Amino acid sequence: MGKAFDPSLIVDFIPTLIYYLGVTLQILAASVLLGMVIGIAAAILRLFRIPVLNQFVILYISFIRGTPILIQLFLVFYGLPAILLFINIDISRMDALYFVIITYALSNGAHFAEIFRGAIKAVDYGQTEAAYSVGMNNSQSFFRIVLPQAIRIAFPNIANSIIGSLKDTSLAFTIGVMDMMGRGETLIAATAHALEVYLSLAVIYYAVVLLFEKIFRLYENRINRHQTVDVSVTG
């Protein structure tokens, strides 16, 4: 086993672990994209107050915001096969990765729905009226005028949500997914150097989060480039 704590191992572990960063990013990308679709659909159902579905979306958002992601992960992992068995589809042998993606997509969807709804409501109604006055129809005024402005308002929150989601993916190993954490666990089992493994993981996560923050900030500056100074205090 050697020394109890060997700092040089931290550097040695990073290449092995970073190889699995792809899986983490794959979970993140798939769940964010699916979450966007769910989020936009849910936000539209809420904004136009479609009966029954509106109440269903409220319940869905409340549930996702009211339970830990870990519980959601277990519920999807054990619940989805049980539900699908009723219609004779057996997915109990499906790769755990897909359960993780489904869970995080549902979770992201609920958060995005609230963010989109808030952002669309935050756009001044005068904008829609102005769009009508120059002869645009409903969908033109929504897609050309309201939505671009709503995206600008929503972007910082979406970015936060994505970074939060990236950190949440570190829990996927609890249902046996081989992402960075999962590989870390096997490294610990093989080398018994738990502290060094977690330090390397922390370094990788931190670096990725910093990189994401940088990219998001650049993009945010870009979409805010037409704004006058008084709107964005921090800009």
Partner 1 sequence: MTIDILFIWTAFKEIIKALPITLILTILPLLAGFIIGLAVALIRIYKVKFLCRVANVYVSFFRGTPIIMHIMLIYFGFPLLIDQISKKFDLGIQSNSIPIILFVLTALSLSAGAYLSEIFRSGIISVSNGQMEAAYSVGMNSFQAMTRIVLPQAIAQSIPNFTNIFIGFLHTSSIAFIVSQKEMTGAANIVASTNLKFLESFIAAGLIYWGLTIIAEGLSFLIEKKATAYNRGGVQ
Residues lying near partner 1 in the complex (CB under 8 A) are found at 4-5, 62-63, 65-72, 74-75, 78-79, 81-82, 85, 167-168, 170-171, 174, 181, 194-195, 198-199, 201-202, 205-206, 209-210, 213
In the complex with partner 1, the residue whose CB is nearer, 75 or 147, is 75
In the complex with partner 1, the residue whose CB is nearer, 107 or 141, is 107
CB of 5 to partner 1, least distance (A): 6
Q: What is the CB neighbour count within 10 angstroms for residue 126?
A: 9
Residue 4 is classified by DSSP as S
CB of 100 to partner 1, least distance (A): 15
Q: What's the angle, vertex CA 210, arms to CA 208 and CA 211, rounded to 5?
A: 65
CB of 53 to partner 1, least distance (A): 21
In the complex with partner 1, the residue whose CB is nearer, 79 or 148, is 79
In the complex with partner 1, the residue whose CB is nearer, 75 or 153, is 75
For the record, the structure tokens of 83 come out as 């539900």
Contact between 35 and 107 (Cβ < 8 Å): yes
Can you list the alpha helix ranges (DSSP code H) found in 93-146? 96-122, 125-133, 138-140
For the record, the structure tokens of 18 come out as 């970073």
Contact between 4 and 196 (Cβ < 8 Å): no
CB of 204 to partner 1, least distance (A): 9
d(CA 167, CA 156): 17
In the complex with partner 1, the residue whose CB is nearer, 103 or 141, is 103
CB of 131 to partner 1, least distance (A): 31
